[in-house]
């Protein structure tokens, strides 16, 4: 009888320990998961606000802005908006621009909140160029990203450079093309660098 009670007691303590482990965190979302969900919800809210703003409403007008090249610093404080060419548009239809998601990754103090506030426009033009061929006659393409930063009030291009992607990757015998890329995070880093935000 005593032996049975010991087994029952041991079983009871094991079950209680297991239940405590589950309810103490294993069975509920972690703080990291909650934080990630909160960040995603905030981002989605910002996207919704942006897409209903006059910034997005004026993208076509921003795409037409040109300026004389006059390298110099950004106005202070800089309030920035970023647009990029829409690569889904066929070449024959002409170039079309949309707002860039890089805008959402800018520090809060750099983000223009309205057309009236925006004094710096960043235009990204992204494209591929044929840069070689493979032994199977496949074509090698390299990615280019042209960054143009305009002082809206002065009507000048205060910075312009082109980032060149990595060498095109090798391809298998059955593939017809290989591509070299410019990582998106490097484009953002290059923009931030101009505004004095050094990489941490």
Q: Is the pLDDT of residue 190 over 70?
A: yes
Q: How far is CA 90 from CA 85, 86, 93, 96, 146, in A?
A: 11, 9, 6, 9, 19
Structural domains of the chain, count: 1
| Inside any domain, residue 36 | no
Residue 2's pLDDT band (cuts 50, 70, 90): very low
Could you tell me the residue range of the domain that residue 87 belongs to? 53-194
Please report the pLDDT score of residue 3 as a whole number: 46
Residue 40 lies in a domain: no
Residue 170 within a domain: yes
Averaged pLDDT, 40-63? 83
The whole-model pTM stands at 0.75
Query: Which of 26-30, 59-63, 156-160 is least confident?
Result: 26-30
Residue 1 lies in a domain: no
Q: Any idea what the CATH number is for the domain that residue 154 is in? A: 3.30.160
Long-range contacts of 45-48 (CB under 8 A, 24+ apart): 46/104, 47/104
Q: What is the pLDDT of residues 71-113, one digit of tens each?
A: 999 999 999 999 999 988 766 667 899 999 999 999 999 999 9
Is residue 89 in a domain? yes
């Amino acid at each position: 009888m005593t032996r049975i009670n010991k087994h029952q007691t041991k079983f009871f303590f094991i079950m209680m320990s297991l239940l405590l482990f589950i309810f103490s965190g294993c069975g509920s979302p972690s703080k990291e998961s909650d934080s990630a969900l909160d960040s995603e919800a905030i981002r989605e809210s910002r996207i919704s606000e942006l897409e209903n703003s006059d910034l997005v409403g004026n993208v076509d007008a921003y795409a037409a802005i040109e300026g004389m090249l006059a390298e110099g610093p950004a106005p202070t404080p800089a309030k920035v908006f970023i647009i990029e060419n829409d690569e889904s548009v066929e070449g024959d239809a002409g170039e079309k621009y949309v707002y860039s998601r890089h805008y959402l990754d800018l520090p809060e103090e750099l983000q223009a909140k309205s057309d009236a506030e925006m004094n710096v426009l960043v235009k990204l033009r992204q494209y591929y160029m044929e840069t070689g061929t493979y032994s199977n006659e496949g074509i090698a393409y390299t990615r280019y990203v042209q960054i143009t930063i305009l002082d809206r009030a002065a009507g000048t291009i205060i910075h312009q450079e082109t980032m060149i992607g990595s060498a095109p990757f090798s391809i298998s015998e059955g593939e017809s093309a290989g591509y070299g890329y410019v990582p998106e995070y490097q484009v953002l880093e290059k923009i931030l660098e101009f505004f004095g935000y050094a990489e941490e």
